[in-house]
Amino acid sequence: MTLRVLSIASEAAPLIKTGGLADVAGALPAALAPHGVEMTTILPGYPKVMAALGKAKAVHTWPSLLGEPARLIKGKLGAHPLLVVDAPAFFARDGGPYADGGGRDWGDNWRRFAAFARAAAEVAAGAVKGLAFDLAHAHDWQAAMTPAYLRYDGVSLPSVMTIHNMAFQGHYGADIFGGLALPREAFAFDGVEYHGGVGFLKAGLEAASAITTVSPTYAREIREAQFGMGLEGLIRSRGARVHGIVNGIDTAEWNPETDPALAQRFSVRTLPRRIANKRALEAEFALDSHDGPLFVVITRLTWQKGMDVLLEVVDHLVGLGGRLAVLGSGDAALEGALHAAAARHPGKVSVRIGYDEALSHRMQAGGDAILVPSRFEPCGLTQLYGLAYGCVPVVSRTGGLADTVVDANLAALAAGAATGVQFNAVHYSALADAIDRTISLYSQTDVWRGLQRAGMKSDFSWSRSGNAYADLYAALVEDR
Ligand SMILES: Nc1ncnc2c1ncn2[C@@H]1O[C@H](COP(=O)(O)OP(=O)(O)O[C@H]2O[C@H](CO)[C@@H](O)[C@H](O)[C@H]2O)[C@@H](O)[C@H]1O
């Protein structure tokens, strides 16, 4: 029997991406297909998404979706079914999915994503002729009101709420409650009410049949105040209904043997060819060209990602003969500080501010090591891309970073299992030590090759996790 799942996400690669959520939402349909799940993705109709749809016909219309007219349009996400909520008043704007061109969040985000979730709940519940679903799977706060709407509509469809990042919760004042079109009783401690206001993620976590997050370690961490960010009590109260399923990567997109972005393709058997990518990357970033270690960073520039601590160790890294290439965008102060570090170290440190998918591939192929000093990391994808591309990950021991990188301690090295370097706390001395260790490992050519090979051979495909999601869906549908 095929299970029909509606995956509700505010971004999905390749159509619209600001971060890791898009990679995962974009990869899930193909990951689930071999396990008897037909996944349909539903997205908001941002201009980029509408442009990709072309002249598709509406399959449903809402004269008033939380007060604005909207249509549902059918399309394709790769080879998989896609639905798009075309509501111009909410989504037809220049800028990003969540913020304007200047990086300021849209003031009506609560209404935009409540409307999106409302539409998705109706679709999941079977309101549109010809579309039927066995389960709704909502991602992050932007989709989190879907399980809540299902609950207060009295629809018994099972639902899964996935946390990709607990730091973003969709927390608003109580005054928006009236605009959500929910019954009065929903404004309750075990409903959508959160610290006197409205919490979108909180509402979804309360209403969903099961909760998942994107690694087993993060699933444990969010039971504690440091990582639960106010929702740790709720997570603990949902006990066995909280699961950690680690992300995979799309191995068609991220394969160094076939990647069209690279100067030179390579595999685990032809690792020496990688050098052409390193030389190309040095040229692209105007870095000195030599055989010393080249570190890369590819990230959103936020507190989460530990970029302030990276800035503190730049001088140390350069002092040891390292070079650093950074690609990122986000916090303006961090952007400025990175530019200043590059100006201090011409030929040694170079920064690209912006978002560039192809460049991120070239960096994974040409860098020797990727630095991921996150303060918390639900799963993390750039370390997985690093593993696949022989770019050795140097990561903080948290969340999915702890679960996916095997530290090069003596035992792991002796067993040939080591794939990277882990360090404990995100502060100067721990990161500086990790960089020392990495450079020392790099100088032992055979050891370094061993790390690269073990990483490239490790299984970061979606097969195991696809299976885990499919099992969870099946159990929830059976329980219904
Ligand atoms: N400037 C830039 N140019 C090009 N590409 C860039 C870029 N900045 C980032 N990227 C890309 O965006 C993605 C980021 O994914 P991550 O998983 O590392 O973090 P993010 O915090 O966005 O995701 C959240 O959701 C994901 C998915 O579950 C979790 O893995 C993660 O821990 C959680 O914080 C990667 O594909 C990366 O290559």
Probe target for ligand 1 pocket from 382, 404, 460, 462, with the most ligand atoms within 8 Å of CB: 382
Quick check: 102 pLDDT over 90?
A: no
414-441 pLDDT tens trace:
999 999 999 998 999 999 999 999 999 9
Residues 177-206: what's their mean pLDDT? 97
Sheet with 369-372: strands ordered across: 349-353, 323-330, 294-301, 369-372, 392-396, 421-423
287 and 224 in one domain? no
Half-sphere exposure of 263 (CA within 13 A, CB side): 19
Nearest atom (ligand 1) to Cα of 18: 12
Cα 216 to chain centroid distance, Å, stands at 15
Contact (Cβ atoms closer than 8 angstroms) between residue 141 and residue 163? no
How far is the centre of ligand 1, averaged over its atoms, from the C-alpha of 336 (Å)?
A: 21
Q: Which residue's structure tokens are 């404004």? A: 187
SS3 225: helix
The reply to whether 167 falls in a domain is: yes
How far is the centre of ligand 1, averaged over its atoms, from the C-alpha of 63 (Å)?
A: 36
pLDDT at 346: 98
The reply to whether 260 falls in a domain is: no
471 and 367 in one domain? no
pLDDT at 57: 86
Probe target for ligand 1 pocket from 10, 17, 18, 23, with the most ligand atoms within 8 Å of CB: 23
| Best CA proximity match to 238, nearest among 216, 258, 257, 223 | 223
Domains identified in the chain, total number:
2
344 and 225 in one domain? no
How far is the centre of ligand 1, averaged over its atoms, from the C-alpha of 310 (Å)?
A: 17
pLDDT at 306: 97
306 and 175 in one domain? no
| Best CA proximity match to 138, nearest among 65, 39, 33, 218 | 39
Contact (Cβ atoms closer than 8 angstroms) between residue 41 and residue 29? yes
437 and 333 in one domain? yes
444 and 318 in one domain? yes
Domain that holds residue 435: 268-457
How far is the centre of ligand 1, averaged over its atoms, from the C-alpha of 66 (Å)?
A: 31
pLDDT at 174: 98
The C-alpha atoms of residue 344 and residue 347 are separated, in whole angstroms, by 10
The reply to whether 253 falls in a domain is: no
Average pLDDT, the chain: 97
How far is the centre of ligand 1, averaged over its atoms, from the C-alpha of 71 (Å)?
A: 30
- Residue 17 labeled ligand binder: yes
Residues within 6 Å of ligand 1 by CB: 19-21, 23-24, 164-165, 214, 247, 298-300, 327-329, 355-357, 360, 377-382, 400
264-294 pLDDT tens trace:
999 999 999 999 999 999 999 999 999 999 9
pLDDT at 54: 87
Rounded to two decimals, the ipTM of the complex is 0.99
How far is the centre of ligand 1, averaged over its atoms, from the C-alpha of 59 (Å)?
A: 33
The reply to whether 263 falls in a domain is: no
Sheet with 58-65: strands ordered across: 58-65, 68-77, 80-86, 37-44, 3-8, 135-139, 159-163, 210-213, 242-244
User: Using DSSP, how many helices (H) and how many strands (E) does the chain show?
Assistant: 20, 18
In percent, how much of the chain has pLDDT > 90? Answer: 96
Quick check: 229 pLDDT over 90?
A: yes
Name the residue with the closest Cα to ligand 1, atom 20. Answer: 20
- The mean-pLDDT minimum among 99-108, 241-250, 414-423 falls in 99-108
pLDDT at 56: 85
Torsion of CA 374, 225, 109, 137, to 10 degrees: 90
314-366 pLDDT tens trace:
999 999 999 999 999 999 999 999 999 999 999 999 999 999 999 999 999 99
Probe target for ligand 1 pocket from 18, 381, 405, 465, with the most ligand atoms within 8 Å of CB: 381
CATH number of domain containing 352: 3.40.50.2000
The C-alpha atoms of residue 79 and residue 82 are separated, in whole angstroms, by 9
449 and 467 in one domain? no
137-184 pLDDT tens trace:
999 999 999 999 999 999 999 999 999 999 999 999 999 999 999 999
More confident residue, 370 or 461: 370
Quick check: 452 pLDDT over 90?
A: yes
The reply to whether 388 falls in a domain is: yes
273 and 238 in one domain? no
Residues 367-371: what's their mean pLDDT? 98
- pLDDT tier for residue 55 given thresholds of 50, 70 and 90: confident
Segment (H or E) for 343: helix 332-344
pLDDT at 22: 97
33-45 pLDDT tens trace:
999 999 999 999 9
| Best CA proximity match to 342, nearest among 303, 383, 297, 389 | 297
299 and 242 in one domain? no
Tell me the one-letter amino acid at 438: T
Tokens, residue 461: 């495909």
470 and 400 in one domain? no
109-144 pLDDT tens trace:
999 999 999 999 999 999 999 999 999 999 999 999
pLDDT at 145: 98
The C-alpha atoms of residue 182 and residue 149 are separated, in whole angstroms, by 7
Name the residue with the closest Cα to ligand 1, atom 30. Answer: 380
321 and 224 in one domain? no
Tell me the one-letter amino acid at 187: F
The reply to whether 262 falls in a domain is: no
pLDDT at 59: 97
Name the residue with the closest Cα to ligand 1, atom 15. Answer: 20
In percent, how much of the chain has pLDDT > 70? Answer: 100
The reply to whether 258 falls in a domain is: no
396 and 467 in one domain? no
Q: How far, CA to CA in Å, does 116 sit from each of 147, 257, 433?
A: 12, 39, 46
Listing DSSP states for 404-466 in one string gives H--B--HHHHHHT---BEEESSSSHHHHHHHHHHHHHHHHSHHHHHHHHHHHHHS--SSHHHH
The reply to whether 355 falls in a domain is: yes
How far is the centre of ligand 1, averaged over its atoms, from the C-alpha of 29 (Å)?
A: 19
Probe target for ligand 1 pocket from 7, 211, 300, with the most ligand atoms within 8 Å of CB: 300
The C-alpha atoms of residue 372 and residue 423 are separated, in whole angstroms, by 10
How far is the centre of ligand 1, averaged over its atoms, from the C-alpha of 377 (Å)?
A: 10
